[in-house]
Structure 1
Amino acid sequence: MAQDQKLEEVLIARNNETGEVGAVTGLKEDGTPKMTDIKSAKLSDLVKFQKGQNPIEAFLSNFVRQCQNPTTFGFFRVPADRYDTVGTVIGDLAKDPKANAEMLKNNKVELPSAEQKVEQPKQTTTQTEPPAQTAATDNAQAPDKEMRHSAIDESKIDWASLKEKWGIDRNALEKSGDLKEMLYNRKSKLVTVTPTFAGEKFPIDARLSFRTDPEGNVKVVPHFIHKEPKLDQEFEGYEFSKEDKAALRETGNLGKVVELTDKNGNKVPSYVSIDRLTNEVVSVPVKDVFIRDTIGQTKLTIAEVMQLKEGKPLPPKEISDKNGRTYNVVLQVSADRKGVEFVPGGARRMEQKEQHQQSNGQQQSSWLTKDGQIKPISKWAGVPMTPQQQADYTAGKVVVMTDMVDKKGQPCTVYLQFNPEKQRPTTSLNDPRVKVANESQTQKAVNNDGLTNEATKHVAEPLQKYQTEPKNKAQQEQQRKPKGPRM
């Protein structure tokens, strides 16, 4: 039961006309949500939505369809297993959604519009807001591109208010080094904040970042912990493929540049990563990430810089710091860091993958090109191949070689084909498409397999192609005991 609860979410609703906030327990006959007091609500009474399913879409679609004025209500999703703490905080923030819009952004649920409901009733969906973007991402919209490299004006921060409302202490942030990160549009490490609501404190772990509003005031944005990254949901207009999800789970980075849709509907080439501390999916526009050609004391080549700009990881590379210490690391652009990072465990993971491939015989075959294609050959066993035979071989087809010789030095027909399992070419006197060539059946049996038959049991000389019986009187008179079982 505890395991199932971790995969569930509940809804908190706010009546925008009356200001009433409560946990959702169902729908009334008029389509409005049934709500109960957040603090006294029993989790078992709340409407819960299983992770990985879409009942929340059906619930909210019914709400939009039945309710006379859906815009009267606002909804916020909360993890069921942290309802006792996060639910109370979200409920208090929802009392003033405009003032707390930034802090509620991660949890707000957007409802389908009335136009969507009428024009596309079968396609009505409820989509959560994508995870809140970092300060540097928002600053990218500003005309001054250098703004993302400039520190936030600390004089605009109301530390007394942050201390009172969130329990955030400036000196503690400075001592831990988190303040510097936050002032340069990055997030702190996980810290414990103690927001105070209705005279009660609720300790919650979160990462913090600063964001400047249009009036120039600096506000703190908490990034709460998610149980797992939401990779099955559309992220800023982009759907993650199976390969995308595997890359994000393995390295924390998507490993390529993709086009995301911003709030104005524009397509923006971006990097995508997972915040490894909170499991939040985050992005940053490519134009807002500056990649230097020097990491520590190590100079990167132009090719390496271009590979990083494409979002791809560099193979394990030795990087020297200012103290002369060297580290074998994998470098890659992180949207969470808004720059190049050392991928945690990247070098070890690549080394283990190579060892695993070698132990399973999956190392790169010398008969394959770098991109895994069959490498062309022009001859086999010294026998030249025609252009058509070469083309058939690289296409993986069977190539009939009629000018080969068998183990006894006699001309024979051989079938050549690339074997994908062995990752090399293999030959046989047996046609893999049918049987042994008619002209070589007896020859193969006698010369290669050591068999005999009535017609050839007295022949001491190797048989030749097309030969099925003694070719002359001298061979018929030879006395030789068969060396193998009868055919």
Structure 2
Amino acid sequence: MSTENTERQVEHDVLLVNDKTKNKIQAVKGLDKDGNLETVPATKKNQNQFLKVDKQADFFSNFFSNFFSQLKNPTQFTFFRVPELLTIKMANQMQKELNQSGPNHELFLKYSIQEIGTPVKTENKVSEHVEPSKENKVAEPAKEQEQYKANKFDIKDIDWDSLSRLGLSKEKLQEMDLLEPLLQGYKTKDLVAVNLDLGAAVFSLDARLSLEKMEDGKVVMALEGVKKYPNLNVPLYGHDFSKEDKHNLLKTGNMGRVVDLVHPTTKEKIPSVVSVDRLTNNLIVTRVEKMQLPQEIKGIVLSEDQLQTLKDGKPLLVEGMTSVKGNLFNAEIQYNAAKGHIEFLFDNTNKQSMAQNQTQSQLSDDLKTFRGKELTEKQQKDLQEGKPVYIKDLIDKRGNPYQGYVTYNKETKQADFSFKNPNKEEQAKAQSQSQTEKQADEPKKSKGRKM
């Protein structure tokens, strides 16, 4: 007969951390003797190194307070508390958000741990120092103010009477999970229906919402309505869009360079980058001095020259990055002012350009190797003479063998790859044309009547 274990099964949480200088989500391992944070990649093989903490609220609060007080450079890090069983899944999901579309407000806020002196949020988004009521899901005013006091905007400074006339009550924003991101200083991730009743007329529009503080300190709700196209035919803070500016903004959403924009009040010239908000088609501006650029992306540490290229607003081709599935890939990245972070440019034009650059770079300058395959002296000579060279046993990114023909242009010093022999195609065309001409020159047979 088996004996049942009556002891309490301790449930644990794991600390994840985002190093703001690297924009990389990792699992916390602990602190070294000097107070430096020790981390490990949040992978299955590192699970035994994860710092695990008792899930009980008071115990965790006391632990984290002590942990945080010993940490060196605490402002460099943002911590997240996740259940032990979800550690790897949540780390991958958070990293994906950081790399591609920026922090997911709901995901990051749901698991984030506030700085010391503020309540630690649970998955129910209420202070962990207060036991949530099952009957009443709406926090009491005092608790609600305590919950939001660490945000960029104070909930008490919002004119709720004015917003209610737009159909944007506090309760509605809470139900839509929009209030907390707004107070944190984010724009709403999706469009929100706004209704304005003027008595004699009623207006309705979809808009992105954000909170702004006016010069007199008053907090107002900014509404960004949807436009059919970005307005590029009128100056933006003193800047007239060039033909190239318009082309870039319509093609990639980013202008691709830094320009001096004139502040409407101070008349100060401010170096800035400009992008199109793809949700509303409004033009968004970010000062160069406020651009946040990652030091590392997808396993590649960016050099000073690469960071300067991004700071100049230009696209940057980064090679040898590692995807979430562990595959190597190349892609162009660029700072997007509307998103406030780096984005990947995955359009067809860029893919073709990248493929062309990749093909050209894979033939060595001395013509001795192509895509890692050594060429014979005869193949090198044929390339110099402009002849196609057949190469087999090439290996693609998936490890599969393939073969094809390489040609080399001595004037442009560029290589081209084809699965078919380009000379055979030209030869077939020539033969076809010769045959057609021959048939045209042959005299037609007489169809005279037989006598």
TM-score bracket, shorter-length normalisation: 0.3 to 0.5
Q: Greater CA radius of gyration, 1 or 2?
A: 1
